[in-house]
Structure 1
């Protein structure tokens, strides 16, 4: 049973990364373009280059896309995690101590989810994993013929 579960670790890691990246990307799209309900459900886009909302939305869009496809995953996930920690402590936590009281549950969940992605890595189903496998395949025949 445990051996069977161990085989699922890599696919589940990849699926987790893809889902978290997609959800974050959609939040960025909503905030920057005012679609999908807009910023925080207002139906509006955030004003261009306004600190910190527009920049947070840009991190959501770009960082979420990078995590989604698995390219520069660990660095992108750290930036995304940090942006959500900032959102929690600067925007939500001053309102009340607990996430259930201050509306910061989503920021806390994204923060810890991206930290997990940064630690676990992108998994096999990622662009950077594919690129790494191709480089190894290109080197392997060269090493075999050199011997």
Structure 2
């Protein structure tokens, strides 16, 4: 039996919020791996870290960590997602594209997927359970008449 579209529509903000958290944490994990050597370390360094200030890898790792955490938390989501999307577009076209036309040829699948996932968040916003929206819309104080 198909699920009514109204039920799916009601669940959309929650699904978007879960998507945002998962994408943000995955992105932050890439940055943490490169900066601190955790989760197996930086890609291509056999468990090491990227050198501080090395262009573009260190800057990309900082963007990944900071923007990933901001997106996961739902704070400055659109701005952080815009920066993250741009950094992944740069990674794809400058780092991966010279090795082949298609992502399967140049190993740029994760860059392409992150780029498009973050671009989606730029246009949709954070969805449900975002700390940024809680700060803008704090819970109403309890009514003195009901207390």
C-alpha distance in 2, partners of 1:81/1:125? 22
2:65 paired residue number? 61
Deviations 1:97-126 (A, max 9, x none): 000000000000000000011111011210
2:119 paired residue number? 115
Deviations 1:28-84 (A, max 9, x none): 000000111111152010000111000000000000000010100000000000000
Residue 11, structure 1, aligned to residue 14, structure 2 = yes
Q: Name the Cα RMSD after superposition.
A: 1.3
1:45 paired residue number? 49
Residue 82, structure 1, aligned to residue 49, structure 2 = no
C-alpha distance in 2, partners of 1:119/1:127? 18
1:34 paired residue number? 37
C-alpha distance in 2, partners of 1:44/1:99? 25
C-alpha distance in 2, partners of 1:58/1:131? 25
Q: Which runs of 5+ in 2 are unaligned?
A: none
C-alpha distance in 1, partners of 2:7/2:52? 49
C-alpha distance in 1, partners of 2:123/2:129? 16
- Superposition TM-score, scaled by structure 1 size: 0.90
Q: Which runs of 5+ in 1 are unaligned?
A: 142-147
C-alpha distance in 2, partners of 1:50/1:119? 32
1:100 paired residue number? 104
Asked if the contact 1:123–1:129 (Cα under 8 Å) also holds between the matched residues in 2, the reply is no
